[in-house]
Amino acid sequence: MSKIFKTNRKEMCVITECPFCGGTSEVEVNTEDYFDYMDGILLVQEAFPYLSPSDREKFVTGMCDDCQADFFGCNDEDEEDCSSDNDEDDCIDPFGLLESFDDIKF
């Protein structure tokens, strides 16, 4: 049973709260993709291929842009450089936070 197509319509706005500074961020996603992710059918990068790495981080951990920049040492402006020059994992999820935060929120 595989999905035949995705609409790629971002019709749902997810509000996330940053675990570090308490600031809120908004991430727009497709509703079906959201439920596929929440049901554990798809990984975040599979469910939301259209989100930037920082938006995915926001969605999963709630971490806002500012805290991501502080924490990972990179931000949206030089994101391209970051991921092309380095192993993407170094920049995005150096300590496996994506998994550990998964259990805390929602």
Binding site for Zn ion (CB under 5 A): 18, 20-21, 23, 64, 67
Go through the chain and tell me how many residues it has. 106
Q: How far is the CB of 94 from Zn ion (least distance, A)?
A: 17
Provide the minimum distance between the beta carbon of 36 and Zn ion in the complex, in angstroms, as a whole number.
27
Contacts of 15 (CB under 8 A, 6+ apart): 24, 25, 26
User: 23 vs 97, which CB is nearer to Zn ion?
Assistant: 23
When the beta carbons of 33 and 55 are compared against Zn ion, the nearer one is 55
What is the Cα–Cα distance from 32 to 12, expressed in whole angstroms? Answer: 9
- Measuring CA to CA, how many Å separate 61 from each of 7, 8, 45, 97? 25, 22, 14, 8
Report the nearest approach of Zn ion to the CB of residue 9 (Å). Answer: 28
Question: Between 51 and 64, whose beta carbon lies closer to Zn ion?
Answer: 64
